[in-house]
Homo-oligomer: A and B are copies of this chain.
Amino acid sequence: MSAVLAFKPVPRTIYMSKAEAPSGARKFEVTCSSCNLRELCLPGALAAEDMARAENLVYARRRVKRGEALFQAGAEFNAVYAIRSGFFKTGLVDGEGREQVTGFFMGGELIGMDGIGTGTYHGSAIALEDSEVCILPYTLIEEMAREVPALQRHLHAVLAREIVRDHGVMMLLGSMRAEERLATFLINLSKRFVRRGYSASDFHLRMTREEIGSYLGLKLETVSRLFSKFQDEELIEVEQKHVRILDIAGLERVLAGK
């Protein structure tokens, strides 16, 4: 359908991990314990001793330029990725060509878990800005999860958290009206930015109206109209991709059905 979402396989240069992370440099660069996203990430929430071992999970890093795929649906699965910086969307295309954005992901969040079990990624992940990810090879994760119970537990928690997140999206898509969906989306983004030390009320949308629409089960025109409406109601200020939330309580009131 639309090439805009770009979830379909396209020929592109694959950034080899080796290129970014020469074996010599790696050990010094890759230190989860000093990463400021440590609290949010997979190796996070581990005791100091475990953390030291968990650092070996990160095989290397990889840079992904805006518009590029970190992985494509159907590609061979062998690693999960932790976002170190940047912003991604994940999504899939079905047999009839329908596209669906399944999520937006930022620093400290893990993507690629949909590949576990089948050996191929089920969906695609595309960078919405120049990004960098830590590569966590699945065989390493498996191994270490056996040896470090805290990591095992944490891994399960991360997988379960994704399931819970998905159920939230189902609620959004299945039971909310358009306004409620967009309000939920903005509140959710705001919360996630805050946890990362950014402003709760003032941020830059990395995705297009079409991508927001796909995620929320709406058309891009509807998303645009709703932004204008929220602006008229003085809940937010929008100028292109820049959003400023003026009245969080007001947005929450939208959720409560006015």
Chain A positions near chain B (C-beta within 8 angstroms): 92, 94-96, 98-102, 113-118, 122-123, 142, 145-146, 149, 152-153, 156-164, 166-167, 169-171, 173-176, 214-217, 255-257
What are 8 sample pairs from A and B whose C-beta atoms fall under 8 A apart? A98-B171, A114-B164, A116-B156, A117-B153, A122-B164, A142-B156, A145-B145, A169-B170
- B residues in contact with A94, CB < 8 Å: 171, 175
B116 A170 Cβ-Cβ under 8 A: no
CB of B255 within 8 A of CB of A160, answer no
Closest to A156 in B: B116
Chain B residues positioned under 8 Å from A175 (CB to CB): 94, 98-100, 214, 217
Beyond the given A102-B171, A166-B167, could you list 12 further A-B residue pairs with CB under 8 A, ordered by the A residue number?
A: A98-B176, A100-B167, A102-B170, A116-B156, A118-B164, A146-B152, A159-B160, A162-B163, A166-B166, A174-B215, A174-B216, A175-B217
Contact B170 A100 (CB under 8 A): yes
Give the residue of B101, B145, B159, B217 whose beta carbon is less than 8 angstroms from that of A163: B159
Q: How far is the CB of A253 from chain B (nearest CB, A)?
A: 11
- Does the CB pair B159–A122 fall under 8 Å? no
CB pair B113 A163 closer than 8 Å:
yes
**Residue in B113, B160, B166 whose CB lies within 8 Å of A116:** B160
**Number of identical monomers bound together in the oligomeric complex:** 2
Among A114, A153, A171, chain B packs the most CB atoms within 10 A around the CB of A171
Q: Of residues A100, A116, A159, A163, which shows the largest number of chain B Cβ atoms within 10 Å of its Cβ?
A: A163
Interface centre among A92, A101, A216 (most CB of B within 10 A): A92
Give CA–CA (A159, B156) in the complex, Å: 8
On whether the beta carbons of A171 and B113 are closer than 8 Å, the reply is no
CB distance from A150 to the nearest CB of B (A): 11
| Inter-chain contacts of A158 with B (CB < 8 A) | 117
Docked Cα-Cα span, A20 to B114, in Å, equals: 37
| Inter-chain contact A167/B114, CB cutoff 8 Å | yes
In the bound complex, what is the Cα–Cα distance between A68 and B100 (angstroms)?
Answer: 35
Contact B152 A217 (CB under 8 A): no
Report how far A82 CA is from B41 CA in the complex, Å. Answer: 30
Contacts of A123 in B (CB 8 A): 167
| Bound form: Cα–Cα A118–B114 in Å | 21
Q: Which residues of B contact A145 (CB under 8 A)?
A: 145-146, 152
